[in-house]
Amino acid sequence: MSRIVRIHESGGPEVLKIEETQVPPPGPGEVTIDVKAFGLNRSEAMFRSGRHIEPVVLPARLGYEAAGVVCAVGEGVQEICVGDNVSLIPPPSVTRWGAYGERVTFPADFVVRHPPSLTWVEAAGTWMQYVTAYGGLIDIGDLTKDDYVLIVAASSSVGLAAIQIAKMVGAQSIATTRSSAKALALRSFGADHVIVTDEEDLGTRVREITEGRGARVIFDPVGGPAVEALAQIASPLGMLIAYGMLSLDPTPFPLFTAVAKGLTLRGYTFKEIVLDPVRRTKAKRFILDGLQSGHLKPTIDKVFPFDRIVDAHRYLEANQQFGKIVVSI
Protein fold of 2-126+298-328: Quinone Oxidoreductase; Chain A, domain 1 (3.90.180)
Render each residue's pLDDT in the chain as its tens digit; 329 residues.
Answer: 899 999 999 999 999 999 999 988 999 999 999 999 999 999 999 999 988 888 888 999 999 999 999 999 999 999 999 999 999 999 887 777 899 999 999 999 999 999 999 999 999 999 999 999 999 999 999 999 999 999 999 999 999 999 999 999 999 999 999 989 899 999 999 999 999 999 999 999 999 999 999 999 999 999 999 999 999 999 999 999 999 988 989 999 999 999 999 999 999 999 999 999 999 999 999 999 999 999 999 999 999 999 999 999 999 999 889 999 999 99
Give the phi and the psi of residue 31 in degrees, each rounded to 5. -135, 135
Residues 131 and 289: their CA atoms lie apart, in Å, by: 13
Residues 131 and 139: their CA atoms lie apart, in Å, by: 10
Q: How many residues does the chain have?
A: 329
Residue 2 CB neighbour total at 10 angstroms: 15
DSSP structure class, residue 48: H
Q: Which CATH superfamily is domain 129-269 in?
A: NAD(P)-binding Rossmann-like Domain (3.40.50.720)
Residue 271 confidence (pLDDT)? 94
Model pTM score: 0.95
Angle between helices 127-134 and 157-169 (to 10 degrees): 50
* Alpha-carbon distance values, 37 to 20, 56, 159 (Å): 18, 24, 22
- Which of these, 96, 104, 39, lies nearest to 72 by C-alpha position? 104
Question: By CB neighbour count within 10 A (0-12 exposed, 13-18 middle, 19+ buried), where does 120 fall?
Answer: buried
CA atoms within 13 Å, Cβ hemisphere of 206: 27
Residue 131 confidence (pLDDT)? 98
Fill in the amino acid letter for 247.
S
Give the domain ranges of the chain: 2-126+298-328, 129-269
* Alpha-carbon distance values, 14 to 39, 51, 62, 225, 274 (Å): 18, 16, 14, 31, 31
The answer to whether 174 and 151 have CB atoms below 8 angstroms apart is yes
Residues 200 and 193: their CA atoms lie apart, in Å, by: 13
